[in-house]
Amino acid sequence: MKSIATYSMLFFLLLSFRCVSQSGYKMDFHINGYDNQEVVIAREFLNRYPVIDTIKQYAPGKFLFQADSILDPGVFLVVMPPDNDFLTFIVDNKDQTFNISTEFGSLSKSIKIEGSENNRIYYEHLNYSNQQVEKLNTIMSQKHGLDEGGMTISAFEKEIKALKKYREELIVQHPDLLTTNLIRLEMEKEIPAFEEAHPDDVTYLKFHYRKNHFFDYAIMDDDRMVNSQAFFNKVYYFLNELTPNNFDSLIVNIDYLLEKMQPSQKNFKYFLDHFMIDYASSDVIGMDKVYVHIVENYYGKGLAPWVEENDLAELLEDASRRKPLLLGNEAPAIVMDKKDGTALALYDIESPYTIVYLWQPGCSHCKLSMPYMKSFYEKYKNRGIKIYSACTKIGNKTEECWKYIEENGLQDWIHVTDKDLSSRFVQKYMAEKTPKIYILDKNKTIILKDISADQLDNVFESLLKENKTQEPLGG
């Protein structure tokens, strides 16, 4: 199926440099002490750095970046080979003609800006913040002060408040600049001490206060922010560090983020696409539930009009195939044939745990997995665990399945085939590639999938530890 790979490629092709015919941009960079004859201009986009241009010097250390068009606002980089040192610069709607000069050995400290309010404030803030960090590090290194009347703590709080005041004043003085909204991303509300709460609850209360107010300063619907890695990092910090690592919590918080971004067509569009691709290809078991939710509730409801009709149809079909196999769903019902030709339904198997194992004899990965499957079954068969082994060969080739089973001593498992594919088991269990393993509980609910055979032993050790009764699982 081509949908995810193809759509991912098309999505990132859209990151190429876009411009709208207007008066043009002109940025002159003087980098004293830089000996290379060219620099690379790149921009930030989500967590990527699309290259815009390569510029040759017009004089030693001098580079002119210009065109008769307008740049999309965002954070850009002058990258200096061969070590890829870089100088950040800000482009805004009304900030596209300016000069920047600096020293190669101290790019930010030596910088001089002409004609750009965004860049002037960006570097003033950067250098002031760095000075404050140095002060804070010095204070923290004076550990003896913590035991002498709290002087170090007092000094630390003083510098923190100074930085906070400085940033708040910038926001008031320059509310519309892109730089201001970038600075907002670094700001968070002060967390209360919760002095009246029970001591055991304080950590929990502080964590959730921070999470609930994490975006209070951020302007989530500003179109310019999509071209800023700082914005991307804040969004993904929220998902990776402040959200429990389970699909239900992620779904709630992704919906929350997209709702805050939705007034911005760009932010909503590119983050929606990024979330979809990210969770479609996640290595974390069960995260396909997030992907299915996104496809059904956004793409499937007409909220992604930029997607081509054919691509949309493939996305919806892919999500539809995955949905029955999500963790927590009842496994798709199938009826297949034993060697003697009698039918055997998956749901007729009575077992506390059933392993649905889809394989074929000519598959190299299947052959590698077989020894692990054998040893697993020998270890757990007396606990009532059963393997529903479905060979994916069809027609007369099913004889290869039975031959392989006999030659490798696998007769104790429950083996089935489907010569004419009337059960549609390959499609239902997405077994175009083998081997495939699904673990079902006694009600045939999918509790785990997409693991390798060598992981089964550890998985069932954990499952049995969770069985509080510690009684035999089967007779």
Q: What is the pLDDT of residues 183-197, one digit of tens each?
A: 999 999 999 999 999
Mean pLDDT of 203-211: 96
- Domain 3-115 belongs to what architecture? Sandwich (2.60)
Phi, psi of 468 (to 5 degrees): -65, -25
Q: How far apart are CA 231 and CA 226, in angstroms?
A: 7
Q: What is the mean pLDDT of residues 87-116?
A: 95
Count of other CB atoms within 10 angstroms of residue 467: 12
Its pTM stands at: 0.86
Is 219 a residue whose pLDDT tops 80? yes
How much is the pLDDT for 157? 79
Which residues of the chain are in CATH 3.40.30.10 domains? 335-466
- The angle at the Cα of 107, spanning 103 to 113, to the nearest 5 degrees, equals 85
Number of neighbours of residue 375 by Cβ within 10 angstroms: 14
- Average pLDDT of the segment spanning 146-164: 69
- Mean of all residue pLDDT scores within the chain: 90
Asked if pLDDT for residue 316 goes beyond 50, the answer is yes
> Which of 91, 92, 113 is CA-nearest to residue 102?
113
19-23, 162-166, 281-285, 396-400: lowest mean pLDDT where?
19-23
pLDDT of 465 over the 90 cut? no
* Residue range(s) of every CATH 2.60.40 domain in the chain: 3-115
- Binning pLDDT at 50, 70 and 90, where does residue 159 land? confident
CATH of domain 335-466: 3.40.30.10
Q: Which of 37-51, 137-151, 237-251, 353-367 has the lowest mean pLDDT?
A: 137-151
| Dihedral, CA of residue 313, residue 316, residue 321 and residue 327, to nearest 10 | 160
17 vs 405 pLDDT, higher one: 405
63-75 per-position pLDDT tens digit: 999 999 999 999 9
CA–centroid distance for 390 within its chain: 34
Alpha carbon distance 424, 335 (integer Å): 9
Q: Is the pLDDT of residue 18 over 80?
A: no
Q: What is the pLDDT of residue 153?
A: 63
Residue 285: count of CB within 10 angstroms of its CB: 12
Query: 24 near 68, Cβ under 8 Å?
Result: yes
Residue 22 above 50 pLDDT? no
Whole-number pLDDT of residue 143 = 57
Residue 471 has pLDDT above 80, yes or no: no
Q: Report residue 4's pLDDT band, with 50, 70 and 90 as the boundaries.
A: low
Q: Rounded to 5 degrees, what are φ and ψ at 188?
A: -135, 155
Give the whole-angstrom CA distance, residue 438 versus residue 445.
10
Q: How would residue 466 be classed by pLDDT, with cut points 50, 70 and 90?
A: confident
What percent of the chain stands above pLDDT 70? 91
What is the DSSP track for 291-334? HHHHIIIIITTT--TTS-HHHHHHHHHHHHHHGGGSTTSBPPP-
Enter the DSSP assignment of 450.
S
- Which residues touch 165 (CB under 8 Å, ≥6 apart)? none
Residue of 63, 6, 18, 17 whose CA lies nearest to 37: 63
**Are 429 and 329 within 8 A, CB to CB?**
no
